[in-house]
Amino acid sequence: GAVVSQHPSWVICKSGTSVKIECRSLDFQATTMFWYRQFPKQSLMLMATSNEGSKATYEQGVEKDKFLINHASLTLSTLTVTSAHPEDSSFYICSARAPGGVTDTQYFGPGTRLTVL
């Protein structure tokens, strides 16, 4: 099946620093990737849709200047949390839409746990 990786799997940083999270589709090309955040015991909240070669589309309430998304290639999208604060601590998960399918299936990465001190 389709494999999506994320790096790092966890990160601890100081308040005010920036953190970059990578999402890679390992065995397929993904023109579209999605970034979610998930708080404990809650479901996935879509933050933005990342399209290769164009600007990301952000969901309402998500600050585009704080959560920078770059989808530079068909296998890599990055999320940079700029000037991170403790309230940004969360589980960030990316997914990639599998091409050629007839259903709206996404394959998720293993997630990145961000802790901001």
Partner 1 sequence: QKEVEQDPGPLSVPEGAIVSLNCTYSNSAFQYFMWYRQYSRKGPELLMYTYSSGNKEDGRFTAQVDKSSKYISLFIRDSQPSDSATYLCAMSANTNAGKSTFGDGTTLTVKP
Residues found near partner 1 in the complex (CB under 8 A)? 4, 6, 32, 34, 41-44, 46, 49, 91, 93, 95, 97, 101-111, 113
Closest contact distance (angstroms) between CB of 47 and partner 1 is 11
Torsions phi, psi of 28, nearest 5?
A: -155, 160
- For β-strands 4-7 and 19-25, DSSP reports them as antiparallel
**Cβ-based nearer residue to partner 1, 46 or 68:** 46
Contact 114, 103 (CB under 8 A): no
The radius of gyration computed from the CA coordinates of the chain, to the nearest angstrom, equals: 13
Closest contact distance (angstroms) between CB of 59 and partner 1 is 9
Which 8-state DSSP code applies to residue 117? -
Contacts of 88 (CB under 8 A, 6+ apart): 81, 114, 116
**Cβ-based nearer residue to partner 1, 16 or 101:** 101
Closest contact distance (angstroms) between CB of 16 and partner 1 is 26
**Cβ-based nearer residue to partner 1, 46 or 76:** 46
**Cβ-based nearer residue to partner 1, 93 or 116:** 93
Which 8-state DSSP code applies to residue 100? T
